[in-house]
Amino acid sequence: MSFGSSLVINYFAFSLALDYSIVTPTIQQLWTTLGGGPSFYGFMYGSYALAQCVMSPLLGYISDIKGLKFSLLLSVFLNSIGNVLYGLSFVTKSLNVMLLGRFVAGLGAGAICLGLVYLTNISLREHRGKVVAGYFIAQSIGFLGGPLIGMTLTVINTPPLNSTALPSRVVNLFTVPSWVTFINGLTFLLPCICIGFKNPMSAHMAMKFSIKDASELVRHVVVQIMIIFIAVTCFWGVTSDTFVLAFGQYHIITSKQDNWKAFVSGGLSFVITGIVLKVTIQRRISAALYTILGLSFQVLGFMLLLDYNIHINSPPNGWFFHSGMALAYSGSACFFVGSGTYFSVKVTDFSYQARNRRGFFLCLFNFAEALGRFVGPCVVSIVMYIEKRRKQVIDDCKPREFISKACHIKNVNIVLPVLAGILIFLTIMFILYHLRHGKWQIDLSLLGNLEVPPPSLTQPADTHPAIVERGRLRLASLQDQPIRERGDSFVEGFEELTLT
């Protein structure tokens, strides 16, 4: 494993998580300032994830053809364009520019799946959980750091929308987060990828993919991405309304300086759980068990977030919110790492079917996860939202004016139990699937554990270790095929294996 490349790929994960989360404290305020309504806000918020969903399989396919490095550079370029557009939305006074900016930035962020591809290519199965957990820690630091950085920017003044002062319209509370991630991408991330990242060579890339030979892999992938999609939809449907719950139900936010209270418990639990995962996964606790624990923790978290009609000035009110968010985010961390490791190992075990499309199959994990992050906020925001309390003198419930006592959350005690019930059903389905299909196959993975340099001038090409390994793995991939179907491939594999 290359230390430099691993460091770059983890910094890449941190940067994309930062890009996603840094706008969280201000994005809803910018949307309403530009004239956006609450009914369409969920779609705009989820557009970033929708773009990731569209782009992840495509970037996985491109990485199979052009290599991981090319795909990483392409993603940084797209993400930078999106951040520029988002930063100019206040200048243009355009909701469309804001929406387009988030969507294009999300296209670049679709490359988050390439980290899983890289880690799968360079790690052994027994170490997979540890390296995936490390990758998740990098993301969780970005998810935590984004809102914290965004909240420190609240000291920046925001001019009126009709202001004619161009500098303050370009650089203000709403636009600075996008400029921060833009500068990070061009100044730090891009040079790191160009200089420090090397494409890992895997022997599976030498084998041509055939859909008719991959039917078993396809069935496993379909089942797992459905589980991932449903679980993520439930989680992000609730946590995308973190500010809404903190403001409208628990009333712990009374000014923009209080925004940190909505995100601190979830962000800290993300990081702490990630560290615990890295230490324990596949040593003391399996990936399957962490997947089950993750779903269970989310159910408990949702139950704590119900409206128990506790007096708003009572201290336990805040405890319920922070405990519920901590459990929900911890559950998400356990599920993400557990299911990601489970998915990665399953694709590895069927590499003799995935062949030179393993990057595409691995990126389907992020496809399902990103689709859930899009669908969840869109659907839940339609039925669970802030509204004015009855018999209130105040005419409106406006988050940007922080009139919290005039608000409450509609349908919270309907939506959360329904989502918890779905997660319980999903847990049972996963347990049944694991009991039947969870035992790993004989290791026929076609990965190369080292980044293999090109043959040197002093080393004959036909004795290079990469070629010998490719021949050996080709034989392994053909051992279950009938003799009549092996043909020349078996002979070629045997010849490559016996060259030395």
Per-residue pLDDT reduced to its tens digit, 206-242: 667 788 888 899 999 999 999 999 999 999 888 877 7
**Residue in 303, 289, 275, 258 with CA at minimum distance from that of residue 130:** 275
What is the reported pLDDT for 139? 84
| Cα–Cα distance, 80 to 148 (Å, whole number) | 21
What is the reported pLDDT for 26? 81
Quickly tell me which residue has 């709403």 as its tokens. 174
Superfamily (CATH) of domain 3-437: MFS general substrate transporter like domains (1.20.1250.20)
Mean pLDDT value of segment 169-194: 89
At residue 101, does pLDDT exceed 90? Answer: yes
| Cα–Cα distance, 323 to 311 (Å, whole number) | 17
| Cα–Cα distance, 57 to 52 (Å, whole number) | 9
| Cα–Cα distance, 454 to 490 (Å, whole number) | 25
Of all residues in the chain, the percent with pLDDT exceeding 70 is: 76
| Cα–Cα distance, 22 to 179 (Å, whole number) | 11
In the structure, what pLDDT confidence band is assigned to residue 183 with cuts at 50, 70 and 90?
very high
| Cα–Cα distance, 303 to 299 (Å, whole number) | 6
In the structure, what pLDDT confidence band is assigned to residue 33 with cuts at 50, 70 and 90?
confident
DSSP 3-state assignment of 387? strand
Cα dist from 377 to 19, 39, 41, 162, 384, whole Å: 18, 11, 9, 31, 10
In the structure, what pLDDT confidence band is assigned to residue 320 with cuts at 50, 70 and 90?
confident
Q: Which long-range contacts (CB under 8 A, 24 or more apart) does 394-401 make?
A: 397/248, 398/32, 399/28, 399/29, 399/32, 399/243, 399/244, 399/247, 399/248, 400/29, 400/32, 400/33
Are residues 79 and 63 in contact, defined by beta-carbon separation less than 8 angstroms?
no
At residue 494, does pLDDT exceed 70? Answer: no
What is the reported pLDDT for 212? 83
355 token code pair: 């062949």
Quickly tell me which residue has 């490359």 as its tokens. 111
At residue 373, does pLDDT exceed 90? Answer: no
| Cα–Cα distance, 8 to 324 (Å, whole number) | 34
What is the reported pLDDT for 269? 85
At residue 471, does pLDDT exceed 70? Answer: no
Mean pLDDT value of segment 335-344: 90
At residue 80, does pLDDT exceed 50? Answer: yes
422 token code pair: 């779905």
**Residue in 414, 160, 171 with CA at minimum distance from that of residue 305:** 414
Mean pLDDT value of segment 360-375: 90
DSSP 3-state assignment of 245? helix
At residue 482, does pLDDT exceed 60? Answer: no
Return phi, psi of residue 352, to 5°.
-70, -15
Are residues 271 and 141 in contact, defined by beta-carbon separation less than 8 angstroms?
yes
283 token code pair: 């040593």
| Cα–Cα distance, 250 to 242 (Å, whole number) | 11
At 145-164, the pLDDT tens digits run: 777 777 676 666 666 676 66
What is the reported pLDDT for 396? 59
Domain boundaries, the chain: 3-437, 461-497
